[in-house]
Structure 1
Amino acid sequence: METLENQKDKWRSMPEINDVATYGGATQGAGGTVRRGGLFLRLFLVFAALGTLWAFATPLMAYPDEPSHAIRAAAVVRGQITAEVGHSFGNGVHVQVPSYIANLGSQNCYVFHRDRTADCAPPIPSNDNFDAIGVTTAGGYNPMYYWLVGLPSLFMTGAPAIYAMRIVSVLFSAVFFAAGFMALAKLRKPKWPLVSATIVVTPMVLFLSSGINPNSIEIAATLAAFCALLAVLDHAHSLRSRLPEIAIVAVSTVVLANTRSVSLLWLLCAVVTALMFFGWSSLKRMLGNRNVLVAIGFAVVGVVLGLYWMAVSMNAPASSGTAPEGIINPAPGVAPYQAFITMLDRTFDFLNQYIGVVGWLDTPVPSGVFGFWSMLFIATLLLSMLARPRKLTYAMLVSLAALVLVPAILQALLVTTVGFIWQGRYSMPLVLVTFVSAGMAMRTRTFSTGRRSQSVARLLLLSAVIAHVISFLYVLRRYVVGIIDISTWQTMISHPAWQPPLGWLVLTVLYSVMIFAVAQKFYSYLFPGKNLVRLPSAFTGIRRVS
C-alpha cells in the first residue's frame, strides 16, 4: 500500500495540475501558471452577486440580531467604540446614532410570526437624522467589522443606508469566500476538495453572508484561512509561487482575531486539521520560508490586537453585551456536564440550521431541500471515510469531532452565566472546515470523467440549482404573502403584500440565472468541454452555421 509520503512525492513529480486552468474561467499564462486575478475576480463577483440578491430578498432587520449590530456599526463609525460607565444598562449599551437607526427595532413586527408579512414594518424615513439614543447588545464586540459596515451611514440615510451597510458586509465576506475557493483551486488534485466545498455552500451560507452581523465574515474568513493554509502546506517544497495563499492565511487570521472572541478557536481547529493532512515535514518547510515568517509576524500583531480588545471588553461595565449576541439568560440548576450532554443530544438537530433556517431562525426552507442536502452531506462524509491512506480519514474525523465537541464544550462553559445560547449558525465555520476536509481526504481517489460520472454530476447539479431556487423563492413567499396552512403561491402574483427592491419576481429570475450559470461553469470545470444542459440539435446547428 502506498504511504502518504510516497503519494505526495508522486504529486510533486507531476507538472502543475491543469484542472485549475479552467476553473472559474481562469486562463494560463507563461509557464503554465494560472492567472489568479481573473479567477479571484470571477469568484468574488459570484459570491457578491448571490449575497446581494439575498440581502435584497430579506426584509431589513429580518437577519438574526440585525438591529443591534446595525446600531453598533453606526456608533463605531461615529467614534463610539468602547462601552463607558453610565452608558451600559441591563438591556445593553446606550449610544448616540441617527434616529432612523436607533429605532430599527420597530421593523421586527413579523419576526417569529410566519403568517405575518413584512409590510407590517413602518417605513424608515430618510429625513429622520437627528441624534437619538440607540441600544445595542453588541457593545462589547470588536469594532473592526462594524467600522467597515457602518461607513455608508455617514453619507446615506434611511433604508438605502441600511441596504448599503448590508452590501458592504456582503462584499467583505465575498472577498474571503473567493480567496478560499481560489486557494483550493491551487491544490494538486483540487477537484474533490472543490466539490465538497461547493456542496457546503448551502442556502444558509448564502443567507448568512447577506446581513449585518460579524457571523458572516467569521464564516468566510475561516474558510479562506483553512483553504489557503492547505494550499501552502501542499506546496511547502516550492513556496516562492505561493505568496497569495500565504497572504490570505495572514489576513484571514487577523480578521478572525478581530471579529468575535470565539473566532480564534475556529482558526485553531482549522490549523490542527490542516497539519494532520500534511504532517510536520511540510510544516518545517513552511516555517523555513522568509515570506511565511513575515506573514506570521503580521498575523501575530493582529492576534495581539484582538486579544487586547478581549481584555478591554472583559473589563467593560456590566451588561455591555459581551455575551454571545448579547444574550444573558442563565439556566439555573443546569450543571456544565448536563449542558455538554444536552448539546451532544442536539447534534443532529443543528443539521437543518446548516442547510437553511433563515430569518431569526423562524423560517425553515422546504423539507425537500433538507432531504437533498442531508443526502449530500452524509454521502460526502461516508465516501471520505473510505479514503486511503487512513491518515487522511483521521484528519477528516478530527474536524468532524471538533464540529461535535467544541460547541458542546463552549456551551457547557457558558450555561451558568448566559444559559443555552447555541445556534447552528455559530458552528458554520467548523461545518465548512469539516466538509472541505472530507474533500481533502478523497483527494487520492481518481476523479472519474466517464459518461456515468457526467450523468450523476449533471443530475446532482441540476437538483442543487432547483433546491437553491426553491429556498430563495420560499423565503420571499414568507415575507411577501406569509406562510399559512393554505397555499399562497397564487397570491404572490395577484396580491403581494410586500415587495423587496426590484420586486420578488425580478430577484427570483436573477437568482435563478446566476445559480444556473455557476452550476454550468462548475460542470464544465469538472468535465472539460461538456455542458450541464445539452442544447437541442436545432440550436447547435444554428451555432455551427453562424
Structure 2
Amino acid sequence: MVLGLLLLQAAWILAMPPFAGIDEFDHAYRASAAGHGELFTDLGRPDDGRGLLVTVNDGIADAARPLCESLDYPGADNCRPTGEVGVGQVAIASAAAIYQPTYYLAVGWPTWFLDGNAALYAMRILSALLCATLFGATVWTITGWARSAWPLVAAAVVLTPTTVYSLVLVAPNGVEVMLALALWACLLGTTRPADDAHRGRLLLASIPLAATFAWIRPFSPVWLLLILCVWIVLLGQTGVRDVLRRHRRLMAVATVVIGCSAVTSTLWVLAHPSPDPAGTYDMVGSRLGETLGEIPLWFFQVISAAPFRGNAATLDVYVAGLVMFAFLLLPLVLTRVPRLRVAALAAAIGAVAVGAWYTYSRLPTAGTLWQGRYSWCLALGVVLMAGIALEERPLRMLKTLGLVFGVPSLFVMHVRCLQFVLGRELDRSPLTGDPAWITAPFVGVAALATMGLACWVYSCWRAHHALGAGADREGAT
C-alpha cells in the first residue's frame, strides 16, 4: 500500500512544476524561514502583497518568481524580495507566515544546504515521505482490527487525486489529512470488539497523533474537536463509560496532553490573526445563496481540483469518482448498526457546517476561499466508517458490483486526472521547456500511477484472502 502511494506521489511531483501548487510559494517561503529558526516573523507587513514579510534564501525567492508572477492574486512583494536581510537571505511576503511552525520545521531544514528549485524538490520529497509513513501506520493499524479487506479499501479510496496532489506539495494540508487518517484508524479501532490490551495500544497511539494534528494548521484544533465528538457518538454512552473505566489513567494522560496541545495551538492562532486587509467581493446573488451554492462544489473538489480550487478536471474523472463513492457509501444507508449511520451523518454535517460558516462569514470581504479538501480531515471518517459497514454479509451483491465498477473507476479517476493536469500545466506554465521543471512524458507519468494503483488493488486482494476468510467463518457461525 505504501509503495502504491509512493508511485502515485512520484507521478504528481513530475506533473506539477516547481512552486505551481496552490500557494506553494507562500509555504516554501515559510518553510525556508522556519528551517533557519524564524518561527514567527517580526519584519512587518508588505506594501503590496499578502501576509507578512519573512526571511528566505534568495535562491528560493528567485526560483519562485516565474510561477508567482504568472498568477493574478499575489502582490508584487509576494513575488519579488523587498530587500536583503543577511548574506544570501532576503525579505519577501508570505501568506503562510502566521501558520503554526510544526510542519515547516519538519520539512524546511534542507534549505540549510540547498537553494532554489533543488530545495523545493527536496522539501516536496520530505513531505511526500512523511505522508507515506503516516499512511503506512494507518494501514498497519487498520489490519490490526479489520475483519475483512473493506476498511483497507476505504483507506485507499480516501486518497483521491486531490488528496494525493496535496501530499506532495510543500504545504501542511497533506500532512494534516494523513494525521487525521491515522487518528481515525486508531479511534475507529477502539470501537471494535477487542481485548483491553489492544484497545489500550490504540488509545496510546492516538495521543501523539492528536497532539501533533492540533498543531498543523489554524483549523486543526476545530477538526480535532469534531473528530473526538464523532468518536464519542460512535462509542455511545456505554462504550464511553467502558473506556473510562478500563483505561482511566491513559484517558487522563490523553486529556491533559491533547487538551494542552489543542489549547496552545488555538492560542497561537488567536495571537497571530490574518494580517490581510479587508477587501470587497462582488456577490452575484444573496450571501446565503452563494454560500449554499458552494457546498456541492466542495464534494467535486475533493475528487479533483488541482492545482487551484477552480481548476476542474474532465467529466469522466468526476463520473468515476461518483461511481466509486456511491458504491462505498451506500452501505452506510443500509447498515444494521444505527450508531454507525448516526456517527457518519454527524461527521458529514460537521464538515459541511464548518465550511459553510467560514464561507458565509468571509464572503463579503474575501470571497469563496474555502475548498473541499479543507474539510476532508473530518469527512474522510465517513469513508472509513463505510468500510466498516461493508463488512456486513448481507451486502454481498453490492460488494460484487462495487468491485466490478469501482476498480476501473479508481484507475480512470487517478490516471485521467493526471493526464489532464499535466497537459494543462504544459500549456500554461512559464516553466514549460525549462530544465528547472523535472517532468516526464505522460506515458511515464501514467505508468507510475498505474503501477501505484495496481499495488493498491493487489494489496487489498491479498488482505481479502488474509482477513476475509476469518470474516466469512465468523459470519457463518
Same fold (TM over 0.5): yes
* Cα offset, 1:346, TM superposition: 2.1
Gap change, CA 1:395 and 1:96, over 3 Å in 2: closer
User: Residues 284-313 of structure 1, C-alpha deviation per residue, up to 9 Å, x if partnerless?
Assistant: 2323345x7447636743552453354345
* Cα offset, 1:515, TM superposition: 1.6
Structure (1/2) with the larger helix percentage: 2
Amino acid at match of 1:370: Y
CA contact (8 A) 1:173 1:217 kept: yes
**What TM-score comes out, normalization by structure 1 length?**
0.73
CA contact (8 A) 1:48 1:174 kept: yes
CA contact (8 A) 1:340 1:411 kept: no
For the residues of structure 1 that align with 2:289 and 2:161, how far apart are their CA atoms?
29
* Cα offset, 1:194, TM superposition: 3.0
CA contact (8 A) 1:102 1:135 kept: no
Secondary structure, in 3 states, of the residue corresponding to 2:108?
helix
Name the residue aligned to 2:84. Answer: none
For the residues of structure 2 that align with 1:456 and 1:422, how far apart are their CA atoms?
31
Gap change, CA 1:93 and 1:296, over 3 Å in 2: farther
Amino acid at match of 1:210: V
Name the residue aligned to 2:83. Answer: none
Correspondence 1:462 to 2:378: no
User: Residues 163-188 of structure 1, C-alpha deviation per residue, up to 9 Å, x if partnerless?
Assistant: 01011111222222232333232234
User: Residues 209-254 of structure 1, C-alpha deviation per residue, up to 9 Å, x if partnerless?
Assistant: 110111111111111111211112324x623134553343112211
Secondary structure, in 3 states, of the residue corresponding to 2:55?
strand
CA contact (8 A) 1:82 1:140 kept: yes
CA contact (8 A) 2:145 2:189 kept: yes
User: Which residue among 444, 459, 466 is the counterpart of 1:521?
Assistant: 459
User: Which residue among 167, 188, 210 is the counterpart of 1:209?
Assistant: 167
Q: How does 1:254-333 map to 2 (within 5 A)?
A: 254-290=211-247, 293-294=249-250, 297=253, 300-301=256-257, 303-316=259-272, 322-323=273-274, 329-331=278-280
Query: Over aligned residues, Cα RMSD in angstroms?
Result: 3.4
Gap change, CA 1:164 and 1:460, over 3 Å in 2: same
User: Which residue among 445, 449, 467 is the counterpart of 1:507?
Assistant: 445
Amino acid at match of 1:101: I
For the residues of structure 2 that align with 1:297 and 1:512, how far apart are their CA atoms?
44
Correspondence 1:145 to 2:99: no
User: Which residue among 44, 64, 67 is the counterpart of 1:107?
Assistant: 67
For the residues of structure 2 that align with 1:352 and 1:112, how far apart are their CA atoms?
24
Name the residue aligned to 2:82. Answer: none
Name the residue aligned to 2:22. Answer: 64
Secondary structure, in 3 states, of the residue corresponding to 1:258?
coil
* Cα offset, 1:457, TM superposition: 1.4
> Could you list the runs of 5+ residues in structure 2 that have no partner in the other structure?
74-78, 80-86, 469-477
Amino acid at match of 2:377: P
CA contact (8 A) 1:396 1:441 kept: no
**What TM-score comes out, normalization by structure 2 length?**
0.83
Q: How does 1:392-403 map to 2 (within 5 A)?
A: 392-403=340-351
For the residues of structure 2 that align with 1:193 and 1:58, how far apart are their CA atoms?
31
- Structure number with greater CO (CA < 8 Å, separation at least 6) is 2
Gap change, CA 1:158 and 1:333, over 3 Å in 2: closer
Identity of aligned residues (%): 23
Gap change, CA 1:411 and 1:456, over 3 Å in 2: closer
For the residues of structure 1 that align with 2:305 and 2:371, how far apart are their CA atoms?
11
CA contact (8 A) 2:9 2:164 kept: yes
* Cα offset, 1:387, TM superposition: 1.2
Correspondence 1:410 to 2:347: no
User: Residues 116-172 of structure 1, C-alpha deviation per residue, up to 9 Å, x if partnerless?
Assistant: xxxxx9xxxxxxx81112211111111110001101111222322110101111122
Which stretch of structure 1 is more off in the superposition, 182-191 or 215-224?
Answer: 182-191
Name the residue aligned to 2:115. Answer: 157
Amino acid at match of 1:368: D
For the residues of structure 2 that align with 1:295 and 1:164, how far apart are their CA atoms?
39
Gap change, CA 1:299 and 1:276, over 3 Å in 2: closer
Secondary structure, in 3 states, of the residue corresponding to 1:133?
strand
Name the residue aligned to 2:296. Answer: 348
From the CA coordinates, give the structure whose radius of gyration is larger. 1
Name the residue aligned to 1:434. Answer: 382
For the residues of structure 1 that align with 2:280 and 2:105, how far apart are their CA atoms?
34
For the residues of structure 2 that align with 1:216 and 1:168, how far apart are their CA atoms?
12
User: Residues 241-298 of structure 1, C-alpha deviation per residue, up to 9 Å, x if partnerless?
Assistant: 34553343112211221111211221222222222223122222323345x7447636
Correspondence 1:476 to 2:422: yes
CA contact (8 A) 1:269 1:402 kept: yes
Name the residue aligned to 1:3. Answer: none
Secondary structure, in 3 states, of the residue corresponding to 1:94?
strand
Amino acid at match of 2:381: V
Across the two proteins, how many residue pairs are aligned to each other?
Answer: 450
Secondary structure, in 3 states, of the residue corresponding to 2:52?
strand
CA contact (8 A) 1:47 1:178 kept: no
Structure 1 ranges of 4+ moved more than 4 A: 109-113, 326-334, 338-341, 415-419, 452-456, 496-500, 527-530
> Could you list the runs of 5+ residues in structure 1 that have no partner in the other structure?
1-42, 114-120, 122-128, 317-321, 484-495, 531-546
For the residues of structure 2 that align with 1:231 and 1:284, how far apart are their CA atoms?
17
For the residues of structure 2 that align with 1:372 and 1:333, how far apart are their CA atoms?
34
